[in-house]
């Protein structure tokens, strides 16, 4: 598994990333979202009613894109396969919420559930066009 280079590891502390999935019409769907990074592992908490979850269940290919807002010539792109696992007690959702000072439980309707999405990278692009 490729590792995130030290030169771009700070981008894992960013507030927002963009997730690209492949929709049922074979076109990309992009969504800005919150994420949590632990080492080289990036995980997301997603509501199972959302289209991006349906997309990932049908096709696990995903790209997570993190732009350096202070230097837009610099970004991190993580391409890989998404693995989904249930988050029945919302323990992971609570951890993501803690990073952002938010309660993800309040963002879901009654009866909805969440999954933990882990992006297993097969390619990492760490780009700095200003260097």
Domain count, the chain: 1
Q: Which residue range is the domain that position 38 belongs to?
A: 6-128
Mind listing the pLDDT tens digit for each residue in 15-42? 999 999 999 999 999 999 999 998 889 9
User: pTM for the whole thing?
Assistant: 0.94
Question: Is residue 16 a part of any domain in this protein?
Answer: yes
Question: Is residue 88 a part of any domain in this protein?
Answer: yes
DSSP secondary structure, the chain, as one string: -PPPPGGGGGGGG-S-EEEEEE-TTS-EEEEEE--EEETTEEEEEEETTSHHHHHHHH--EEEEEEE-TT-TTEEEEEEEEEEEEE-TT-HHHHHHHHHHT--GGGGS-TT--EEEEEEEEEEEEEEETT-
Does residue 12 have a pLDDT over 80?
A: yes
- The CATH number of residue 54's host domain is 2.30.110.10
Q: What's residue 40's pLDDT?
A: 84
Mind listing the pLDDT tens digit for each residue in 60-70? 999 999 999 99
């Amino acid at each position: 598994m490729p590792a995130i280079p030290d030169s771009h590891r700070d981008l894992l502390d960013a507030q927002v990333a963009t997730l690209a999935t492949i929709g049922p019409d074979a076109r990309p769907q992009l969504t800005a979202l919150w994420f949590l990074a632990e080492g080289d592992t990036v995980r997301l908490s997603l509501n199972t009613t959302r289209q991006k979850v349906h997309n990932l269940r049908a096709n696990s290919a995903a790209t997570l894109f993190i732009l350096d807002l202070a230097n837009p010539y610099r970004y991190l792109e993580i391409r890989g396969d998404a693995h989904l696992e249930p988050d029945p007690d919302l323990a992971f959702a609570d951890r993501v919420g803690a990073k952002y000072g938010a309660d993800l439980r309040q963002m879901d309707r009654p009866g909805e559930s969440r999954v933990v999405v882990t992006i297993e990278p097969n390619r990492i692009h760490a780009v700095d066009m200003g260097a």
